[in-house]
Amino acid sequence: MKGRALPSILLAFGVVYVWFAYGITLDPWSAAEPVNSRTLPIAYGSILILLSTFLLVRGMRVHVPRHNLLRLTSISASIIGFGLLLPRVGVWPALILLLVSCLMIMGEKRWHIFILAPLLASLGGWLLIEILLGVYVEPGTFWS
Amino acid sequence: MQRPQRIRLALILLASSCSYADRLHFVIPAGPGGGLDGTAREIGRIFKTFGQYESISYENMPGGGGGRALSQYLENRSRYRDAVLVNSTPLIVRSLQGLFPQSFRDLTPIVGLIADYGIFVVRADDPILTWSQLSTTFKSRPSTVVVGGGSVRGSLDHIVLALALSSINVNPREVRYLPYDGGAKAMLALLSGEVRLLSTGLGETMPFLDSGQVRALAVTAAERIETIADVPTLQELGHDVAFANWRGIFAQPQLPPKRKIELIEQFHELRQTNEWNAALQKRGWTPLDLAGNAFANYLLEQEKLLRTTLTKLGFIN
Amino acid sequence: MWEGISTGIATAVDPINLCWVVIGCVVGTFIGMLPGLGPITAIALMIPISYGLDPAAGLIMMAGVYYGAVFGGSTSSILINAPGVASTVATSFDGYPMARAGQAGRALAIAAYSSFVGGSLGAIALLLFASSLAAIAIQFQSPDYALILVIALSSVAAFADRGQILTSLIAAVIGLMLGTIGTDPSAGVQRFTFGQLDLSDGIPFILLAMATFALAEAFRMTTDRSEGPIPSPGKNSVRLYPGDARDMAPTVSRSSVLGFLIGVLPGAGATLASFIAYDTERRLHKKVNRVRGIAAPESANNAACTGSFVPLLTLGIPGSGTTAILLGVMLSYGIQPGPRLLETEPGVFWGVIVSMYIGNLILLALNLPLIPYISRVIYLSRKILIPFVIAFSMLGVYLTTMNPFDIFLMLGIGLAAFLLRSAGFPLAPLLLGFILSGMLEENLRRTLYLSEGSLTIFFQSPLSATLLTVCLIVWTIPLVRIANDLRRGGNPRD
């Protein structure tokens, strides 16, 4: 099977990147610069366009295992959830939820593992980072 | 070590019943280890020694050229009600350049504590001996002297250079400025001979002046500085320029007047301590004595100056 | 000088100072093992403690924290493919596969021994050549740096197996492109940030490394059911295999020298050193040898870390963020590093250097016994390991940047990296391109601004001319390979 999807995406990325590279604002001093803020981005983008065109013509073999994309999607969703909760409840509670949901998605059934392990990990992290090392971590808007 | 943050609910109840904070929280718009971080931690350490506050915490919030810390600080007012923000001159520069929409006007200026001055240095073996020799060269062939600096074009080192050049009637846009990633690398470029002149901060240059590797031609302070008494100021050379990169403390915009007075008073006491003066000396910081409205006016003045310079350089219209 | 060394030994073996070097090393190596907390954080955290000490003890401790963190940083790279420190990214290339093959203990032991030798040789080199090397470091100008970076870029070829050169090149270019995101290093204009303040400092390296390595690997393991369990370890899994020492010896000595020299150059640093050392070994030996693949970057990054003390101590110029903080610590003691440090503070100067040798011994003694316990992590079942790897890498990034936005950025990059990996793209060149991007552009632009666009500046000095020659030589091989690859056509994965 000759995959063309990925090379096409790369090509599109290159084109969009070069398009934006032409839109970079130049400061007044750039006029005197042989290599200004746009030069290298345009060069890199053009190389990518060239190479991905070559790959597109030649085709490449891609094998993404399809059977477990559901699991990948659920994990991505829990990461998004983590990112959304983080500023609200703080990193440690959010970390517990992330771990619990990932453990469940991965099929961990023993409740003492998927409840206790995240709790202990979070507690340990908090003790180590905030108490022992004295790093200040935002507590989250929910608590204030 | 700081107090556990988890017991916050209890603390909130307590805090609302007490008068003003017995804990001080610093928001630092930079990563750990830099000048701003050092300033906050020195202040905190001394406050704690003298018992002004029971607990002090520091929150490093790098990113967005200081813009992220500023917007977080202003957006989560309830959480940062009692917190103070440490900042420095780039706050004005970046807000003028439009990197972030907020400015110092959105904050309550408390005190300006430390000043760093711009300084122009050459290598010790350079034939240029005085500022006037340098300005003659600049006037006749402005593009021959390549000037290095520790930050990108349009930021402090470049601005200070532009200020000095304008004062000797040289168009700053004709002079070649080479930016380096930090003052240390710029200093290395001077030592390696890649650039002829360095526009940089006094604090960072001090050790090199002491060791005799470089020589200073002029400084942007208004009066001569004790530690480098032989270096003339631009003003005494007949140019109407004085510029300081301040470091100071800000609080929330709706700060109760009582709290503002209390904070200013506490910083006033800080200035009197031997510990603070020892810290200044050790770190090579020059003290700046501005508080409250005086500080606010100083900021307005500086903003005006910076706006003119940045316009001259072509960075803003 | 011998007099100085004896002063140094006297300072370093002072019981109090010995105590502090142990504390520094222990703290450093543990913080180094934690996700996202690299040497910079470790040192910054210890600043308050250093205030109370006298200068020699304080600096000995802080230096211990620094090289201790670099020493410990390899652990998470090897075990879960999550490089918490930039300089240990290259260690994961061969370390992680070795650990997956059931030899985690062996991989960690190789890393520990190599780190030890790299660090110790570095300390000896520092002792002997510090002042003379400083004079050389001062010779390097922007064109020379630009050439070194182009030389380093040629190592993308080292990461490509047969037929992978095109994909490897594409990955490197993507890395270079990602490196341009953020504030332009010369003009200060925003590039590809779309008005997002969160992007204006660029993508943090730790984020990119965690996303493309740890996260993409975790994603692969979640989708791939075919992979069997990891073979369980032998009894003495910490031991090196017979022949490992023989394999390591030449590699470690070469890489230590190389690492130290690169470390001396301000700005280049341990990360670049580890990549270049890895590349050199790949070029010298046709066959992939994982032992050398771990030994090279680990000895190089530790040697480079020691090497970075050369410009710091003798010129007063910090070459990296970490040494900049150390400079701050020295200044706060009223010690001014620079050419006169040797005269003004001989005890501190020599004491710190000698203590590094002791510190490396301590680190070895500290790390080896821990390996059997730490390496058990890898034998956890995937059901448990994957959630923890994900959480670990997210936490590491968040604790470094404290920005929730980075979680989403990391997820996006992780998914894209997973896709690229599935298609057979090697991701190491992407990281290499990213590391080099900013420095390369900055130096290239300065060079050509100085020369007003003329390329003759690259052979103006003997140093540049030499580097240019090296550059041409190292690029010939990959270029020939690219040409072959393109000519052959057909499927790139054959």
For residues B20-44, one letter each, b for 16 or more C-beta atoms within 10 angstroms of the residue's C-beta and e for the rest, the string is ebeebbbbbbbbbbbbbbbbbbbbb
Query: In this complex, how many residue pairs, one in chain A and one in chain B, have their CB atoms less than 8 Å apart?
Result: 44
Confidence of residue C37 (pLDDT cuts 50, 70, 90): confident
Q: What is the mean pLDDT of residues B181-206?
A: 90
- Which residues of chain B does C324 touch, with a Cβ-Cβ cutoff of 8 Å? 33, 182, 184
Query: Do B16 and B161 belong together in one domain?
Result: no
Q: Which residue of B has its CA nearest to C449?
A: B178
Touching B: C residues 424-443, CB under 8 Å: 442
Q: Which pLDDT score, from 0 to 100, does residue A92 have?
A: 93
Contacts for B54 with CB less than 8 Å, ≥ 6 apart:
B22, B23
Contact: B59, A138; criterion CB under 8 Å: yes
C173 at interface of A, judged by CB pairs closer than 8 A: yes
The C-alpha atoms of residue C356 and residue C63 are separated, in whole angstroms, by 7
Give how far C269 is from chain A: nearest CA, Å: 23
B120 at interface of A, judged by CB pairs closer than 8 A: no
Q: What is the mean pLDDT of residues C246-271?
A: 87
**Segment (H or E) for B87:** strand B83-88
B12 at interface of A, judged by CB pairs closer than 8 A: yes
Q: Which pLDDT score, from 0 to 100, does residue B104 have?
A: 93
Q: Which pLDDT score, from 0 to 100, does residue B90 have?
A: 92
Neighbouring chains to B with at least 3 Cβ pairs closer than 8 Å: A, C
Q: Which pLDDT score, from 0 to 100, does residue B15 have?
A: 42
C41 at interface of B, judged by CB pairs closer than 8 A: yes
Closest partner residue to C390 (CB to CB) among A91, A102, A137 is A102
The C-alpha atoms of residue B111 and residue B270 are separated, in whole angstroms, by 11
Confidence of residue B231 (pLDDT cuts 50, 70, 90): very high
C142 at interface of B, judged by CB pairs closer than 8 A: yes
Contact: A144, B12; criterion CB under 8 Å: yes
DSSP state of C239: S
ipTM for the predicted complex: 0.93
Q: Which pLDDT score, from 0 to 100, does residue A65 have?
A: 60
Give how far A22 is from chain C: nearest CA, Å: 10
Helix (H, G, I), strand (E, B) or coil at C139: coil
Confidence of residue C55 (pLDDT cuts 50, 70, 90): confident
The C-alpha atoms of residue C39 and residue C28 are separated, in whole angstroms, by 7
CATH of the domain at B19: 3.40.190.150
DSSP state of C362: H
Q: Which pLDDT score, from 0 to 100, does residue B14 have?
A: 42
Token pair recorded at residue A11: 């090509």
Amino acid at A109: K
Higher pLDDT, B29 or C8: B29
- Domain boundaries, given as residue ranges, for chain C: 2-488
For residues C243-255, one letter each, b for 16 or more C-beta atoms within 10 angstroms of the residue's C-beta and e for the rest, the string is ebeebbeebbebb
State the best of C405, C406, C446 to mutate against chain B, taking most chain B CBs within 10 Å.
C446
The answer to whether the CB of C361 falls within 8 A of the CB of C18 is: no
The answer to whether the CB of C211 falls within 8 A of the CB of C408 is: no
Closest partner residue to C224 (CB to CB) among A65, A79, A128 is A65
Q: Which pLDDT score, from 0 to 100, does residue C385 have?
A: 85
Domain total in chain B: 2
Q: Which pLDDT score, from 0 to 100, does residue C172 have?
A: 93
What percent of chain C is modeled with pLDDT above 90?
23
C34 at interface of A, judged by CB pairs closer than 8 A: yes
Confidence of residue B21 (pLDDT cuts 50, 70, 90): low
Query: Do B64 and B105 belong together in one domain?
Result: yes
Q: Which pLDDT score, from 0 to 100, does residue B207 have?
A: 82
- Domain boundaries, given as residue ranges, for chain A: 5-58, 69-143
Contact: A71, C223; criterion CB under 8 Å: yes
Confidence of residue A15 (pLDDT cuts 50, 70, 90): very high
A2-11, B302-311, C442-451: segment of lowest average pLDDT = A2-11
Give how far A122 is from chain B: nearest CA, Å: 13
Confidence of residue C135 (pLDDT cuts 50, 70, 90): confident
- Which residues of chain B does A32 touch, with a Cβ-Cβ cutoff of 8 Å? 176
Contact: C174, A48; criterion CB under 8 Å: yes
Contact: A29, B177; criterion CB under 8 Å: yes
Do the domain assignments include residue B60? yes
Q: Which residue of A has its CA nearest to C417?
A: A6
Give the pLDDT confidence of B136-180 residue by residue, as tens digits: 999 999 888 999 998 888 889 999 999 999 889 898 888 999 999
Query: Do B140 and B214 belong together in one domain?
Result: yes
- The pLDDT of residue B297 is above 60: yes
Give how far B308 is from chain A: nearest CA, Å: 16
Q: Which pLDDT score, from 0 to 100, does residue C232 have?
A: 63
Q: What is the mean pLDDT of residues B76-104?
A: 90
Give the pairing of strands B197-201 and B147-149: parallel
Helix (H, G, I), strand (E, B) or coil at B23: strand
- The pLDDT of residue B1 is above 70: no
Query: Do B194 and B136 belong together in one domain?
Result: yes
- The pLDDT of residue C229 is above 50: yes
The C-alpha atoms of residue A74 and residue A86 are separated, in whole angstroms, by 18
Give the pLDDT confidence of A21-74 residue by residue, as tens digits: 999 988 888 877 888 899 999 999 999 999 999 888 887 766 666 657 888 999
What is the rounded average pLDDT for all residues in chain B? 87
Contact: C423, A79; criterion CB under 8 Å: no
What is the rounded average pLDDT for all residues in chain C? 85
CA separation, residue C32 to residues A129, C299, C386 (Å):
13, 16, 21
Give the pLDDT confidence of C75-90 residue by residue, as tens digits: 888 988 888 778 888 8
Give how far B204 is from chain A: nearest CA, Å: 27
Range of the domain at B27: 8-115+245-313
Confidence of residue B107 (pLDDT cuts 50, 70, 90): very high
Query: Do B106 and B130 belong together in one domain?
Result: no
Closest partner residue to C166 (CB to CB) among A44, A51, A79 is A51
Closest partner residue to A86 (CB to CB) among C384, C387, C404 is C404
Touching A: C residues 60-99, CB under 8 Å: none
Contact: A6, C490; criterion CB under 8 Å: no
What percent of chain A is modeled with pLDDT above 70?
93
Q: How many residues does chain C have?
A: 494
A42-46, B3-7, B37-41, B259-263: segment of lowest average pLDDT = B3-7
What ranges in C266-367 are assigned the alpha helix state H? 269-284, 290-307, 309-310, 321-332, 341-344, 346-367
Contact: B152, C183; criterion CB under 8 Å: yes
Give the pLDDT confidence of C143-190 residue by residue, as tens digits: 998 998 898 888 787 777 666 788 888 999 999 999 999 988 888 888
Which chain A residues touch B if contact means CB-CB below 8 Å?
27-29, 32, 126, 130-132, 134, 136-139, 141, 143-144
Give how far A144 is from chain C: nearest CA, Å: 18
Q: What is the mean pLDDT of residues C407-435?
A: 91
Neighbouring chains to A with at least 3 Cβ pairs closer than 8 Å: B, C
Give how far B79 is from chain A: nearest CA, Å: 6
